[in-house]
Structure 1
Amino acid sequence: MFAPSPIPQTEPPRDCPRCPRLVALREELRAEYPDWWNAPVNAFGDPDAWLAIVGLAPGKHGANRTGRPFTGDYSGDLLFDTLGKYGLATGVYEGSPADDLALTGAIIINAVKCLPPQNKPTPEEIRTCRPFLEGQAAVLPNVRTFVALGQIAHQSAVKALGGKLPKCRFGHLAEHRMPDGRILIDSYHCSRYNQNTGRLTPEMFEAVFARALELREP
């Protein structure tokens, strides 16, 4: 079972041909793991969301396997636990699209839709995939706040929202006002590495979403 997109008109085709290196990896994994998703990963969450979370790209054993962002890997445990704590998720996260997890008021969109080798997309791949991020941001009229998970997501989100990188330096809990008035908040990525090294603690991560809620208040 894989998660359908809440904004299907913005998604790339399942066999998106835009990035040759990512296509090659996709085909290799389809042969090796035919039961996996192995395709561009759809957005997940509430189409009427006020908050959009911008991730980096699918993880090999996470979203690339399950077909739902942050589902099935270490980073999803912290992300969905935090979203639940702040009233942005309901149900129980069990690491599978077959669970009853649902996002309310929040949606997850990625800077890069397909799995990159070693989880490192090239600048060209990020740029090539940006139109999908731009399209998804454009069809979410209620989203006034974005949270970028990591520096690559930050850079792509700033460009997708019409901002200028020299004026928007990445930093945990940094806030950036975009030309149209929407706000981008930065967070260190909730990766296993960042959690295990202490670069990102649960308290630091929670502070990002607490701030997003503060900004929502009139």
Structure 2
Amino acid sequence: MGTPLTDIDSLDAELIECRVCPRLVEWREKIAQDKRASFRDETYWGRPVPGFGPPDAPLLIVGLAPAAHGANRTGRMFTGDRSGDFLYAALHAVGLASQPTATHRGDGLELFGVRITSPVHCAPPANKPTPAERANCRHWLDSELKILQPSLRSVVVLGSFGWQALLPVLDDAGWQIPKPRPTFGHGAHIELPHPGDPGAEDPLHVFGCYHVSQQNTFTGRLTPAMLEAVLADAAHTAGLGPGQH
């Protein structure tokens, strides 16, 4: 990747030009050309989707990958689909977002102390990236965490894919991962010390939460109350109390 990227704007600018994974490039561009009938008049983003939120956020949310007709269409994480509707409504309910809906870039949505990212930045066929694609994309998450590290205090991981992708990245960045490695589960909560960062007096809190996929939200496996509870706990550990954004 050349010179290490030290700011979010540079990271995002380089990320959206990535064409490393042939299958993902072909799929994201095919979807952008074919479109869904209800969005036929829109110009799809059709590129890698960067993270969304302030570069000094103390709370990070890690998903899976952009949705074909959601973020791959709008160019912003969890924007323009029902999974995003569910997530942003919960973020707004606990005081971490300026509004409960996310329809398109430029809709006025602002996040308070929260950044949203994913281990894979291109929409994958059937929402299933391959292990090789996840490995190819890993350096973006490495760089993003290094930039966020001075302010980062809490992470919410949506689903087991994100959990499995994130823990090795945290390990390499210096946080102490318990052995055996903690398993994913909704409501999981681990505290990770960072002995290599003398300024880090508090551990990093990592929370597991079921993914906001329609498969989970439509069946009631994940309810708004369940998601709001995890977000509220994570916000508390990140120092994001009411009125602190």
Q: Same fold (TM over 0.5)?
A: yes
Distance 2:86 2:179 in 1: 28
Asked which structure has the greater CA Rg, the reply is 2
Distance 1:79 1:30 in 2: 24
Q: Residue type matched to 1:22 in 2?
A: L
Residues 87-117 of structure 1, C-alpha deviations (whole Å, 9 max, x = no match)? 1111452411131110011000111000100
Counterpart residue number, 1:69: 77
- Give the match's secondary structure for 1:98: coil
C-alpha contact (below 8 Å) 1:92/1:99 kept by paired residues: no
The structural deviation recorded for 1:137 is 1.0
Counterpart residue number, 1:136: 144
Counterpart residue number, 2:49: 41
Q: Are residues 150 and 217 of structure 1, via their aligned partners in 2, closer, same or farther at CA, if it must alter by over 3 Å?
A: same
2:208 to 183, 186, 193: 186
Counterpart residue number, 1:169: 183
Q: Is 1:160 equivalent to 2:176 in the alignment?
A: no
Counterpart residue number, 1:87: 95
Counterpart residue number, 1:57: 65
Where does structure 1 lack aligned partners over 5 or more consecutive residues? 1-5
Q: Are residues 119 and 138 of structure 1, via their aligned partners in 2, closer, same or farther at CA, if it must alter by over 3 Å?
A: same
Where does structure 2 lack aligned partners over 5 or more consecutive residues? 1-6, 36-41, 172-176, 195-202, 241-245
Q: Residue type matched to 1:85 in 2?
A: A
2:219 to 182, 194, 197: 197
Distance 1:58 1:66 in 2: 10
The structural deviation recorded for 1:217 is 4.7
Counterpart residue number, 1:32: 34
C-alpha contact (below 8 Å) 1:66/1:96 kept by paired residues: yes
Residues 111-159 of structure 1, C-alpha deviations (whole Å, 9 max, x = no match)? 1000100100011111111110111011012111011000001111111
- Give the match's secondary structure for 2:73: helix
Distance 1:36 1:93 in 2: 19
Residues 26-85 of structure 1, C-alpha deviations (whole Å, 9 max, x = no match)? 332344358100000011112221100001100011000000100000011111111112
The structural deviation recorded for 1:196 is 1.0
Distance 2:96 2:215 in 1: 25
Q: CA RMSD in A?
A: 2.0
Q: Residue type matched to 2:232 in 1?
A: A
Distance 1:172 1:45 in 2: 24
TM-score (structure 1 length as normaliser):
0.90
Distance 1:91 1:84 in 2: 6
C-alpha contact (below 8 Å) 2:49/2:121 kept by paired residues: yes
Distance 1:70 1:184 in 2: 20
C-alpha contact (below 8 Å) 2:84/2:102 kept by paired residues: no
